[in-house]
Amino acid sequence: MTDPVADRVRFAAFELDLRTGELRKGGVKIHLSDQPFQVLRTLVDCPGDPVTREELRQRLWAAETFVDFERGLNAAVRRLRDALGDSADVPRFVETLPCRGYRFIAPVSRQPRPGTAEPLVPEIADEANPTPDLTAARRPIRTWGPMLVAGIAVVFAVVLWASGFLPKHPAAQSPPATHRFMLAVLPFQNMTGDPAEEYIGDGMTEELISQLGRLDPSRLGVIARTSVMPFKNTSKAADRIASDLGVSHLLEGSVRTTTDRIGITVRLIEPGTATQLWAGQYERDVPNLLTLQREIAEAVAGQIMTSLGVTRSNVHAHARRH
C-alpha cells in the first residue's frame, strides 16, 4: 500500500499528487476526473500486483450505491488510458487481466511531501553508568564557528560593494509566469432536427479542437475530443461540465442548415463567473463543407486569441510555412 508520507507518485513522465488529486505530465496538469483518479490511485498502491474488479468496485462506489458497475468501471479505465496515452492492446501502464481485473506494470517511485522528516528516536540514558555528554561541551564552538564565518563573508561583501566590484542595483526580477487557460470545445448542437445532419456539428467540433490546438500551448490547453464527446446533448450546467473536465473556459455552439446555406453560432463562456466573453454568428453557402468548417474554425480561433490573449504556436506556424 502507498506510504502515507509519500504524497507524490512518479512513473514515466507522470507525477500523481495523492493529496490534491492532480496528475501532471512534464509539469503540465492533465485533467482526470474522480473515478479514473481513484482507479489509478488503487493500481499504483500495489504496482505489479493484480487488482480485482471487485476491489475497484469497493473503492469507487459505496456498498449502497446502485450503478451499472461493469459499464462504469470500463468507462473509468478508458478515460484513465486516454489521460495517460495508453493502449489496452499494447499497454505501457494499465494491463487488463481478462475476467479478473487490472495491473499497473510501469515502475513507480514515491516522493515524500516537503518538510517530512524521519521520526526522532529518543535516547535512553543508562542511569547506572551515566556517560558524560562530550557533545554538549563542543556546542559553543560549533555555534560560534558558522556565525564567525558568516560575519567575515558579510564584511567581505560590503568591501567589494563599496569598491565597485559588485553591482549596486539588484538584478532585475524575472517576469511572473503567465496564466494558462484550459478550454473545452463542447460538441456542437444539431438544430436542424435531422439526425442525418449530426456529422456537420461533429466535424465543426473536431476542426475547432484542431485549430485551437495550434495556439500557444503554454497559454492555452485544449481538451481532447474523446473527453468532450460524453457531454454531447447533455443537460448539465456549464459550471458542472467545467468542473468535470477541469477547465476554465467552454466553447459551445450550434449548427442550422438549409438546402444551400449553413448557419453556425459559437459562444465563449467563463463558467466560474457565469460570463459570456464572446459570441459569433457565421452564415455561408455550402459548396465545400470542409473548406467552410476550416474557415469558420480559423475565424473563431482568431477571436479566442483576442479574448484570452494567446498567440499561435511558433512550432505550428513554422510547420505551415514549410
DSSP states along 147-207: HHHHHHHHHHHHHHHHHTSS-SSPPPPPPPPPP-EEEEEPPPEETTS-GGGHHHHHHHHHH
Cell of 248: 476554465
Confidence of residue 298 (pLDDT cuts 50, 70, 90): confident
Mean pLDDT of the residues in the chain? 76
Q: Identify the pLDDT of residue 196.
A: 79
Please list, in sequence order, all residues whose beta carbon lies within 8 angstroms of the beta carbon of residue 91, skipping any fewer than 6 positions away. 105
Q: What's at 16, amino acid-wise? A: L
Average pLDDT rounded to a whole number, residues 50-60: 87
Q: Identify the pLDDT of residue 215.
A: 82
Cell 510555412: give the residue.
321
pTM of the model: 0.44
SS3 45: helix
Q: Do residues 223 and 247 lie in contact, with contact meaning Cβ atoms separated by under 8 Å?
A: yes
- Round to whole Å and give the CA distance between 189 and 204: 10
Cα 52 to its chain centre, rounded Å, is: 27
| Class of 8-111 in CATH | mainly alpha
Beta strands in the chain (DSSP E): 8-11, 14-17, 22-25, 28-30, 51-52, 94-97, 101-104, 109-111, 181-185, 189-190, 220-222, 249-257, 261-270, 275-285
Q: Identify the pLDDT of residue 161.
A: 60
- Round to whole Å and give the CA distance between 276 and 34: 28
Cell of 124: 535512553
Give me the residues paired with residue 254 across strands: 189, 265
Confidence of residue 100 (pLDDT cuts 50, 70, 90): confident
Q: Do residues 176 and 241 lie in contact, with contact meaning Cβ atoms separated by under 8 Å?
A: no
* Architecture of the domain delimited by 181-321: 3-Layer(aba) Sandwich (3.40)
Cell of 289: 463543407
Domain with CATH 1.10.10.10 in the chain: 8-111
Per-residue pLDDT for 322 more than 50?
Answer: no
Domain with CATH 3.40.50.10070 in the chain: 181-321
Q: What's at 6, amino acid-wise? A: A
Q: Identify the pLDDT of residue 123.
A: 42
Cell of 51: 487488482
Instruction: Convert the pLDDT of each residue in 131-189 to its tens digit.
Output: 444 444 444 444 555 666 566 666 666 555 655 554 544 444 544 445 788 899 999 98
Q: How far is CA 310 from CA 18, 212, 258, 306, 307, in A?
A: 32, 10, 35, 7, 8
Give me the residues paired with residue 282 across strands: 264
Confidence of residue 282 (pLDDT cuts 50, 70, 90): confident
Q: How far is CA 130 from CA 122, 123, 139, 311, in A?
A: 16, 12, 20, 73
